[in-house]
Amino acid sequence: MPELRLNLITREWVMVEKSTAVDPADFLEKNILRKLPEYLGTCHFCLGNEKIIPDEVYRIQDESGWKVRVVRNKFSKLSEEGHQVRWSDKLQRSANGVGVHEIIIETPFHNFTTANLQAAQLKAVIETYKKRLIEIYNDPRVDYVVIFKNSGTRSGTSFEHSLTQMVGIPVMPLQIRDRIEAYMRFFDDTGECLMCKMLGEELQNGSRVLVDSEHFVSFVPYAALSPFHVWIFPKRHSGSIADIRNEEMWDFASNLKATMSRLYHGLENPDFNYAIRSGRPDNANSKFIHWYLSIVPRIGYTSGFEIASGMYINPVQPEASAQYLRDVKIPEEHT
């Protein structure tokens, strides 16, 4: 008999398969781990092709050249020109499509992904997240900043180069508003942060924890919406990644690399999305908002039941997913 679990953060019920007939290894993508070139002449983002997208807004560099580069997305659906205007006509509501859409080029080289980037390079990427988030929120037209990464065709991208996107939008998405209100209600009811409480229970239980480092913990949630869904929580309560400290950046980079390496080698380089769920910079001291990163390997499909009911089906027990990933052997050259 399946078990229904409530994901307290998303407020969604998940039907978790209790049978052991489904093995986590059944979800291996069997991707061809082909060797990508270090440089691709047609890639918009490779070192040496900067002229293809010259509209640069930020970079981190050393004596050898740039390490991380941020450019405006020339295919953005939002316009950086104009004012934030809303209007209504009876039951119709509209707003100007103004905002900011930036692409963070995580590495100069074409053949790297999150799992095999060096921790120092990932630290530079995280530092860029922080600085660009703060800068975009300085735009008075921006109500919310979305930070997300697509990797692989099933994630929604055709680009092979390792990228993150950051979008400042002029409205607060309903999903984000609903979650913040849920965090606030939990704090009102208990006097505790929901994520801090959840993190404490995950560490105490231990069966779903993947990587427990000094400042961060990665784990498969109790009510994971899909197989191998992973969250990375900071141990220190903070409402915004804009508040991350230098020593925490190093640890976040190390934890993220270790976690992604387990997914990369354990599931044979699956397509994935990740998103950073963060409050505004001025939410850093919020008692009920707690930022985190969510990783979703794209190894399943949404069914008609899920569309009709809004209830997810996870065919693999989260505890089995976590055990499988903990047992993955990481090649020495990727540690």
pLDDT digits (tens, 9 = 90+) for 218-271: 999 999 999 999 999 999 999 999 999 999 999 999 999 999 999 999 998 999
Tokens of 41: 């002449």
At 20 the pLDDT is 61
Q: What is the pLDDT of residues 40-90, one digit of tens each?
A: 999 999 999 999 999 999 999 999 999 999 999 988 989 888 888 888 988
At 81 the pLDDT is 87
Task: Tell me the domains of the chain and their CATH numbers.
Answer: 3-80+93-334 (3.30.428.10)
Pairing state of beta strands 144-151 and 12-16?
A: unpaired
What is the chain's mean pLDDT, rounded? 92
pLDDT at 166 exceeding the cut of 70? yes
State the average pLDDT over residues 183-208.
97
At 30 the pLDDT is 58
The residue type found at 243 is: D
At 279 the pLDDT is 97
Handedness of CA 66, 67, 73, 79 (dihedral sign): negative
At 21 the pLDDT is 53
Handedness of CA 274, 279, 282, 286 (dihedral sign): negative
Contact 59, 100 (CB under 8 A): no
| Gap between the Cα atoms of 162 and 171, Å rounded | 28
Cα 25 to Cα 28, 84, 148, 238, 319, distances in angstroms: 6, 49, 27, 36, 14
pTM of the model: 0.94
